[in-house]
Amino acid sequence: MKILVANLGSTSFKYRLYDLGDPHEPMLARGAVDRIGASKSKVSYSSGKGKAEDEVPVADHGEAVRLCLQQLTDPTLGVISSAEEVAAIGFKAVHAKGISGVRRVDDRLLSAMEEFNDVTPAHNPPYVRAMRMLADRFPEMPLVAAFETGFHATIPDRNRRYAVPNDWATDHGVLRWGFHGASHRYIAERSAQVLNRPGLRVISCHLGGSSSLCAIKDGKSVATSMGMSPQSGLFHNNRVGDFDPFALPAVLRATGMSLEQALDVLATKSGLLGICGKNDLRDVEQAADAGDSNAQLALEMFVSSIRHYLGAYLVELGDTDAIIFTAGIGENSPRIRAMVCQDLGAFGILLNSELNETGSGERKISSADSKVEVWVMPTNEEIIVARQARDLLSGTL
C-alpha cells in the first residue's frame, strides 16, 4: 500500500510517498511546491532515480497535488506507473472541535476543524481550504486526517484539565490537548526499540520552529507542555507560549489594539521574534555570539522554559530512563542541548560534551556514568501519519 503524506502551508505543499507494502517501509519519493499562487512557484522533486527543480505557475493546492502525481508517474524520475497506485493522502492535521485520532476527511470533520480556526489560526485555515479543494478535485482518492492531539488522549485528567468550570471542559473542549503528536509518538516507538526496557519512561523534547515536551510512560503520553492551542507551553519562533490572559486588558488599554490584533501579535510576532527580532534559532545563536544582549536573553529564556517542563516531567515520571532531543533545534543545536542539561548531575543527567558536539543522526550523547541516558533521535512524523492512514483504511486501527 502506497501512502502520500502531505504537509500543507498557506502557500506550500510538501509531500513524501511511502511504500508500506514493503516491510522496510521505504520512502519512494519526496517533493515540494513553494509560493503557490505566485506567478512562479518553486517546484522540487527527489527519488531514487534522481532530482528535479523547476519554476512554474501553480495556482492552488489542487494544482500542486496534480503536479505531484505527475512527478510521481514521470517516465524518467517517477516511482509509480499511475496515480491509482496511491491508496490515500494522509495529513498531519492539528485540531478539531470534538474530533481527534485518525479519521477520513468529510464535511463533518472539516466543519469541526473550522470551529477551531481561531484556536489554531496558523494551521487549520490552510489545511481546511486545501482539504476541501482536494476532496473536490480528487473525489476518488481517500483523504485521511491524523490529528496531532490523538497521541495525548492517554494523559490523565489531573494533567489534562484546566482549573475552569467543568462545563468548559465537557461542553467546550477546554482541555490540555497537546500537539506534535506524530513526533512524540515516533519517539515513543523508536526509543522502545532502541532502549528495549519494559515500562520505559522517556521525556521527548521536540524543539524546532514550534516546540513541546512530552512525558512518555510505557509508550503512552502522560503529560505534555502544549495545552488547548499550539500557542501554549514553551515559546516558539514567533508564538508566545505560556502567557497570563489577564495581561491582555492592560495591553489593550495601553495600546488601543483590539483583542484580535493582540492575539495576532501573540501568535505571529512573539516568541524568539518578539524578544530579539529573529525567529530562526541559528540566527539567534549567531547574534548572541556577536554580543547581541537580546539574542542572548532569548536563548536563556528558551532554555529556561525547556528546563521548567523538564523538571516537572522528571517528577511526573520518577525513575526516568531517557531524555531525547528531536526536531530541528533538538537535533542540530549542541548549544541548546548543553544548556538544557547543565548542572543536572543531581538528577542523574550527565552529558558527554564531546559526543554532544560531534556526530550526526541517532546517537547517545550522555556520559557513561549518567543514570539517565540522553539521546539525539531524528524524528519522522510522516511515517507515523502514513502508518495511521494505512491502519485506518485496512480496518486495523
pLDDT given at position 16: 95
CATH number of the domain where residue 267 is located:
3.30.420.40
Q: Is 252 annotated as a binding residue?
A: no
Q: Is 332 annotated as a binding residue?
A: yes
Residues 139 and 221 in one domain: no
pLDDT at 38 over 90: no
The pTM (predicted TM-score) of the whole model is 0.92
Q: Is 4 annotated as a binding residue?
A: no
Looking at 146, 171, 200, the residue that finishes a domain is 146
Residue 166 in any domain: the answer is no
Q: Are 135 and 118 in contact (CB under 8 A)?
A: no
C-alpha closest to that of 49 among 65, 69, 67, 72 = 72
Residues 138 and 192 in one domain: no
Please give the single-letter amino acid code of residue 183: S
Residue 395 in any domain: the answer is no
Residues 200 and 332 in one domain: yes
Cα 267 to Cα 12, 229, 327, distances in angstroms? 20, 10, 21
Please give the single-letter amino acid code of residue 191: S
Q: Which residues span the domain enclosing 258?
A: 183-376
Domain count, the chain: 2
Rounded to the nearest integer, the mean pLDDT of the chain is 94
Please give the single-letter amino acid code of residue 289: D
Residue 257 in any domain: the answer is yes
Residues 217 and 364 in one domain: yes
Q: What is the mean pLDDT of residues 333-355?
A: 97
Q: Is 17 annotated as a binding residue?
A: no
Q: Is 381 annotated as a binding residue?
A: yes
Alpha-carbon span 172 to 174, nearest angstrom: 6
pLDDT (tens digit per residue) in 233-285: 999 999 999 999 999 999 999 999 999 999 999 999 999 999 999 989 999 99
Residues 106 and 193 in one domain: no
Q: Is 158 annotated as a binding residue?
A: no
Residues 133 and 227 in one domain: no
Looking at 146, 172, 195, the residue that finishes a domain is 146
Residues 257 and 304 in one domain: yes
The pLDDT > 70 percentage for the chain reads: 99
Q: Is 92 annotated as a binding residue?
A: no
Please give the single-letter amino acid code of residue 279: N
Query: What residue has cell string 499511475?
Result: 82
Residues 93 and 225 in one domain: no
Residues 220 and 362 in one domain: yes
Residues 260 and 354 in one domain: yes
Q: Is 280 annotated as a binding residue?
A: yes
Residue 397 in any domain: the answer is no
Q: Is 281 annotated as a binding residue?
A: yes
Residues 311 and 360 in one domain: yes
Q: What is the mean pLDDT of residues 32-48?
A: 89
